[in-house]
Structure 1
Amino acid sequence: MKMCIACGMPMTSLGDYPLHDMSKNYCKHCAHNDGTMKTFDEKWQEVALRYANNHHIDYSIAKHTAYVILKKLPAWKRKW
């Protein structure tokens, strides 16, 4: 099973891949409509918003948490 390099999501079916392209190493949630991968800043904002809403915490705390999580993933390691 492949894991998304940008968010860590398990990719277990064709529908998990952007444009159903199994050659991609990132998931549909980390892709733009054209299939290209989103930037770190785009994912950071999305993850932080989702985390804040799902866990009912302040956005600044969610943003820090999202940063800590994302920077450990393969797509973003070269950024540090």
Structure 2
Amino acid sequence: MKMCIACGMPMTAIGDYPLHDISKNYCKHCAHKDGTMKTFEEKWQELTLHYVNHHNIDYAIAKETACTILKKLPAWKRKW
């Protein structure tokens, strides 16, 4: 089973891939509508807002938490 390099999501079905392209190593949630991968900053903002909106976490703490999680993933390791 493939895991998304940008968010860690398991990709178990063709619908999990951007544009149903199983050659991609990132998931549909980490892709733009044209199938290209989102940037670190885009994913960081999305994950931060997810924590704020769905887990009732303060924005500053959510931003720090999101960064901690993302920087451990293969797509972003070279950024650090």
TM-score band, normalised by shorter chain: over 0.9
| CA-based RMSD | 0.4
Once residues 57 and 44 of structure 1 are traced to their aligned partners in structure 2, the CA distance between those partners, rounded to angstroms, is: 15
In the alignment, what sits opposite 1:20?
20
Unaligned runs of 5+ in 2: none
In the alignment, what sits opposite 1:6?
6
Q: TM-score, normalised by structure 1?
A: 0.98
Once residues 73 and 40 of structure 2 are traced to their aligned partners in structure 1, the CA distance between those partners, rounded to angstroms, is: 11
Once residues 52 and 3 of structure 1 are traced to their aligned partners in structure 2, the CA distance between those partners, rounded to angstroms, is: 25
After superposition, residues 1-80 of structure 1 pair within 5 angstroms as: 1-80=1-80
Q: Residue by residue, what CA displacement relative to the aligned partner does 1:24-56 show, whole Å, maximum 9, x if unpaired?
A: 000000000000000000000000000111110
Q: SS at 1:15's partner residue?
A: helix
Once residues 41 and 2 of structure 2 are traced to their aligned partners in structure 1, the CA distance between those partners, rounded to angstroms, is: 23
Q: How many pairs does the alignment contain?
A: 80
Q: Which runs of 4+ in 1 moved over 6 A?
A: none
